[in-house]
A = this chain, B = another copy of it.
Amino acid sequence: MSAESSNYGRFKKHISKITDLGFAGAVLGWDQQVYMPKNGAAHRGQQLATLGTMAHELYVSPSFEKLVRELGDEVNLGDAERTNVALVKKDLERKKKYSPEFVEKMALTTSAAFGAWHEAKSKRDFSIFKPHLETIVAMKREEAEFLGYEEHAYDALVYDYEPGLTVKEIDRIFGALKENFFPFVKSAIANSKPDASFLSKEYPRAKQWEFSKRVIERMGYDFDSGRADDAPHPFCTTFAPKDVRITIRGNEREWAMMFFAAVHEAGHALYELGIPQAEHYGLPLGSAVSLAFHESQSRFWENTIARSLPFWKGRYSELQAIFPENLKEVPLETFYRGVNRVEPSFIRVEADELTYHAHIYIRYLTEKALISGELEVKDLPAFWNDLYEEYLGIRPSHDGEGCLQDVHWSYGSFGYFPTYSFGSFYAAQLHSAMKREIADFDGKVERAEFAPILDWLRTKVHTHGRRFTSDELLKRATGEGLNVGHFMEYARGKYGSEGA
């Protein structure tokens, strides 16, 4: 045990301070999306920038660096302590490459860019966002250079979201998809023309929430350690080890949106709540391993579980009882096909689980080209639209449903998008392993007996924090490194002739 006054105790206390600032920023960011009145916006960006730059300053302070160096040489640290120190040391080396000026400039640039993006999107006018994006892309290119990389500048940026993932690996995986999966999606689109009109009827918000809440509670989400608030976009955010909240969005004329988003965000929340964050507050062992793994948890619950036939075999009568006027006459099979219809669309967040990966591949190609310099911001809309035509056979009629639809670039996030797809790939691989190890898996899903499934995820994934790299973690959990075959098999089983 390390006393408060030991080096490790001081190390923990310093990280704890930085973490407090980070969680405070999370509360402010949540409030900004959820409750902040219009005129609060004028100062919120600056307040968030202050919290962010102060956290950065604390992290890279010379006295902390010295402490971390000394701890690296200390011989009587326990296993967990050694891991925390080693990973912080690595993080510190990366963070030190950021000058305070760069951090502050990025915070202020993205704060202004966010407002411009919002306006540009609602006015469908790329020119409003263009100068901001140009500054951001220039800064991201600069960032990649000072961070350093072996093969591609883009690799340096992906690291923030999925450490170790590279252009080479993304190209390898998407190469396989281009060969075997994208053609399959085309045929699935052609074969999948289910009736889904019953999803677009009058669905009172409170009743939608009643069902959603019941399901996420059965998944294991505990409202003593979280809550759900309305927001324009669903997300999950952590304020403390046992305060992990989600946001939801209801559309009274459409059933699917709130439910699947709530399950998705609850999947993220269950991961956060399963990490030993109280014991390792803000430390690597108290943190998620990567964004792709985070996304594997949300997509597992959303797609693999809540869009599965066993799930609806068990739950559909409950849902029918809540909305008899809309669903009484709709048979289970029709409902199941309706919530799994496959069709090309412009908007990523509304895409089905197959075409979704074309949306991601397009974004990846765009980001890579922007960062490498092959593409300039002014040519972005045409580049984007051409890719939609090539991969989905549709061309956006304006940039609002095209390259302006996602918020990520306005935040300065480049390299984030691939993690969405990798999340699905990890989820499918975890699912394969789970089915081998958990007896009567589909029966359990049908009976909503989720405890053994959550236990499996807690034991194999959540509890480890960042102890292993995501590649190692996947190997330990499933017995092999990333094998996108599991995902393709899952897709074929569900959407191919044998599944449909």
Q: Verify if A42 is at the interface (C-beta below 8 Å from B).
A: yes
Give the chain B neighbours of A5 by CB distance below 8 A: none
Q: Verify if A211 is at the interface (C-beta below 8 Å from B).
A: no
Residues of A187-245 contacting chain B, CB below 8 A: 222-227, 229, 239-243, 245
Is A225 in contact with B39, judged by CB distance below 8 angstroms?
yes
Copies in the complex: 2
Is A42 in contact with B242, judged by CB distance below 8 angstroms?
yes
Q: Verify if A27 is at the interface (C-beta below 8 Å from B).
A: yes
Q: Verify if A90 is at the interface (C-beta below 8 Å from B).
A: no
One of B27, B38, B224, B245 near A28 (C-beta < 8 A): B27
With CB as the reference atom, state the residue of chain B lying closest to A40: B243
Q: Which of A18-26, A92-100, A296-304, A438-446 contacts B (4 or more CB under 8 A)?
A: A18-26
A243 CB to nearest B CB, Å:
3
Is B42 in contact with A241, judged by CB distance below 8 angstroms?
yes
Is A43 in contact with B240, judged by CB distance below 8 angstroms?
yes
Q: Verify if A17 is at the interface (C-beta below 8 Å from B).
A: yes
A106 CB to nearest B CB, Å:
17
A191 CB to nearest B CB, Å:
45
Give the chain B neighbours of A227 by CB distance below 8 A: 35, 37
Q: Which of A46-54, A64-72, A256-264 contacts B (4 or more CB under 8 A)?
A: A46-54
Give the chain B neighbours of A46 by CB distance below 8 A: 16, 20
With CB as the reference atom, state the residue of chain B lying closest to A31: B27
A224–B281 Cα distance when bound, in Å, is 37
A24–B30 Cα distance when bound, in Å, is 12
Give the chain B neighbours of A223 by CB distance below 8 A: 37
Is A50 in contact with B37, judged by CB distance below 8 angstroms?
no
A335 CB to nearest B CB, Å:
33
A153–B278 Cα distance when bound, in Å, is 41
Q: Verify if A178 is at the interface (C-beta below 8 Å from B).
A: no
With CB as the reference atom, state the residue of chain B lying closest to A34: B35
Give the chain B neighbours of A51 by CB distance below 8 A: 20-21, 24
Q: Verify if A486 is at the interface (C-beta below 8 Å from B).
A: no
A37–B229 Cα distance when bound, in Å, is 12
What count of chain A residues pass the 8 Å CB interface test? Answer: 39
Given contacts A27-B31, A31-B27, contact A240 B44 (CB under 8 A): yes
One of B21, B43, B224 near A39 (C-beta < 8 A): B224
Is A243 in contact with B37, judged by CB distance below 8 angstroms?
yes
Given contacts A27-B28, A28-B27, A35-B229, contact A243 B54 (CB under 8 A): no
With CB as the reference atom, state the residue of chain B lying closest to A50: B20
Q: Verify if A36 is at the interface (C-beta below 8 Å from B).
A: yes
A358 CB to nearest B CB, Å:
39
Residues of A255-292 contacting chain B, CB below 8 A: 278, 281
Is A242 in contact with B27, judged by CB distance below 8 angstroms?
no
A224–B36 Cα distance when bound, in Å, is 9
A32 CB to nearest B CB, Å:
10
Give the chain B neighbours of A226 by CB distance below 8 A: 37
Mask of A346-382 contacts with B, CB within 8 angstroms, 1/0: 0000000000000000000000000000000000000
A188 CB to nearest B CB, Å:
41
A247 CB to nearest B CB, Å:
12
A482 CB to nearest B CB, Å:
35
Give the chain B neighbours of A28 by CB distance below 8 A: 24, 27
Given contacts A51-B20, A224-B38, contact A241 B278 (CB under 8 A): no
One of B20, B38, B47, B278 near A42 (C-beta < 8 A): B278
With CB as the reference atom, state the residue of chain B lying closest to A49: B20
Given contacts A37-B224, A226-B37, A227-B35, contact A241 B43 (CB under 8 A): yes
Give the chain B neighbours of A16 by CB distance below 8 A: 46, 50
One of B27, B47, B225, B241 near A20 (C-beta < 8 A): B47
Mask of A8-20 contacts with B, CB within 8 angstroms, 1/0: 0000000011001
Give the chain B neighbours of A35 by CB distance below 8 A: 227, 229
A43–B21 Cα distance when bound, in Å, is 12
With CB as the reference atom, state the residue of chain B lying closest to A227: B37
Residues of A137-192 contacting chain B, CB below 8 A: none
A-B contact pairs, 27 of them (CB 8 A): A17-B54, A20-B46, A20-B51, A21-B50, A21-B54, A23-B43, A24-B24, A24-B28, A24-B47, A24-B50, A24-B51, A27-B28, A35-B227, A37-B223, A37-B242, A37-B243, A39-B222, A39-B242, A40-B242, A42-B278, A43-B239, A43-B240, A43-B241, A43-B243, A43-B278, A44-B240, A47-B240
